[in-house]
A and B are shown apart, each in its own frame.
Chain A
Amino acid sequence: DAGVTQSPTHLIKTRGQQVTLRCSPKSGHDTVSWYQQALGQGPQFIFQYYEEEERQRGNFPDRFSGHQFPNYSSELNVNALWLGDSALYLCASSLVARDTEAFFGQGTRLTVV
């Protein structure tokens, strides 16, 4: 049973560029959440997708957008990259329910130069 998979694992981009990160949820899961983890910090919630719609959003600018596909996989897009966007981007999948448990992928390490 494959867990949460993310691609790519590492990425280097230049300021001003755009990036797309991808996530396949754990088998049977229908909800995907994205988190940004800066160095030395805990993960910060970006947004959550269920039934191909954004259900909740954290305190991130509109440069951060996402999408969920019918097969529950998801993409995170970041436009006009800043140096401060350099971080580990984590995808977590779960089942839509209260007190649900989230399973994380290994993350995508994004470096903006």
Chain B
Amino acid sequence: TQLLEQSPQFLSIQEGENLTVYCNSSSVFSSLQWYRQEPGEGPVLLVTVVTGGEVKKLKRLTFQFGDARKDSSLHITAAQPGDTGLYLCAGARFGGGSEKLVFGKGTKLTVNP
């Protein structure tokens, strides 16, 4: 059972377009993180959102955490070919005295020049 559902799974757009990736769950997380992964590499942390309703901006990327801390979105403005990659959301769950990350399957983004 996938606790975090990401949509869409695949996205191919032209340079300059805007896009939004969604990350949804029925579970509450203590925080939610977004990562970007290149082929053959490990995920690289983009942002962590902690507070319900929180919005964080990273240049052309805007991240939002849902009020109930169950879902999140990533919006990219004026996408560029360098944005191409696999975007993963991960929810932090606390248990057994420590946290672990639960990942979605990812959204594979291709930005064509």
Residues of A within 8 A of B (CB): 4, 6, 31, 33, 35, 40-45, 48, 50, 55-56, 58, 88, 90, 92, 94, 96, 98-107, 109
Q: Residues of B within 8 Å of A, CB-based: how many?
A: 30
Q: Is the CB of B98 within 8 A of A101?
A: no
Q: Which of B42, B97, B99, B105 lies in contact with A42, CB distance below 8 A? A: B105
**Does B64 lie at the interface of the complex (its beta carbon under 8 Å from any beta carbon of A)?**
no
**Does B25 lie at the interface of the complex (its beta carbon under 8 Å from any beta carbon of A)?**
no
**Does B103 lie at the interface of the complex (its beta carbon under 8 Å from any beta carbon of A)?**
yes
Q: Is the CB of B43 within 8 A of A31?
A: no
Q: Is the CB of B45 within 8 A of A99?
A: no
Q: Which of A6, A45, A96, A103 lies in contact with B45, CB distance below 8 A? A: A103
Q: Is the CB of B105 within 8 A of A104?
A: no
Q: Is the CB of B42 within 8 A of A107?
A: yes
Given A50-B98, A56-B95: A44 and B103 within 8 A (CB)? Answer: yes
Question: For the complex, what is the distance from the CA of A63 to the CA of B96, rounded to whole Å?
Answer: 21
Given A42-B103, A99-B30: A106 and B98 within 8 A (CB)? Answer: no
